[in-house]
Amino acid sequence: MTMETGLLLPYLDDEVAAPFWAACSRNELVVQTCAACDKSRMPPRPMCPHCRSIAVKWEPTSGFGTIWSYIVPHPPLLPAYAELAPYNAIVVALEEDPTIRFVGNLVTSANGAINEIDPATIRIGEKVRVVFTTIDDVTLPRWVRAD
């Protein structure tokens, strides 16, 4: 994956988000959930907007979803992205709760490049499944077609 070094990556020690990225490194897609009222939320944040509890748990997900939207960026871009452009970026709505969404990329396999799928074939509503790829010290979720 040296090709993608130079991408913008998250910090792994963020007070709120660290458990999400730690789960990714175990190849698990989790969603922050209120330990008091059981409502899930994405992106993670310190307080539950429904009940104001700060107690959280991280629930496993099915890892399946549908493409909610997608884009195909072209230059001018930061160098690491320009090298890959045009590539796809997608928003995935989680199968069990479509209001839980993740930004990601559609690939053909876990370590596939984000520019390997012909963008003209991507459709909103396509079913996808999470996979994981590791870049430097960060494991990112990616998505492959599930149908």
Partner 1 sequence: MAGLVKDRTAIVGIGQTAFGKGLADSELSLACQAISTAIDDAGLTPGEVDGLSMFSMEKGREVEVARNVGLGDITYFSELGYGGGAGCGVVGHAAMAVATGQCNVAVAWRARKRASKTSRPWSQVPGRIAGHWQWSRPFGVVRPVDEIAMLTRRYMHEFGATRDHLANVAIASRKHANRNPLASMYDKELSREQYMEGRWISEPLCLFDNCLETDGALAVVITSAERARDLAQPPAFIHAFAQSIPQQHQVMTNYFCEDPLIGPAYACASRLWERSDIKAADVPVAQLYDAFSSLIPLSLEGYGFCERGEGAAFTENGALEWPTGRLPTNTSGGGMSEAYVHGFNLVLEGVRQCRGTSTSQVEGAESCLVTSGEGVPTSALLLRA
Q: Rounded CA gap, 38 and 69, in Å?
A: 27
Residue owning tokens 């999470």: 130
Q: Rounded CA gap, 80 and 87, in Å?
A: 12
Under rule CB under 8 A, residue 22 binds partner 1: no
Least separation, in Å, of the C-beta of 124 and partner 1?
5
| Bridge partners of residue 104, in order along the sequence | 90
Under rule CB under 8 A, residue 65 binds partner 1: no
Number of residues in contact with partner 1, rule: CB under 8 A? 37
Under rule CB under 8 A, residue 77 binds partner 1: yes
DSSP state of 93: E
| 64 and 50 Cβ atoms separated by less than 8 Å | no
Subset of residues 88 to 127 that bind partner 1, contact rule: CB under 8 A: 89, 91, 99, 101-105, 114, 119, 124
Binding site for partner 1 (CB under 8 A): 7-11, 14, 17, 42-43, 49, 68-74, 76-78, 81, 84, 86-87, 89, 91, 99, 101-105, 114, 119, 124, 138, 140
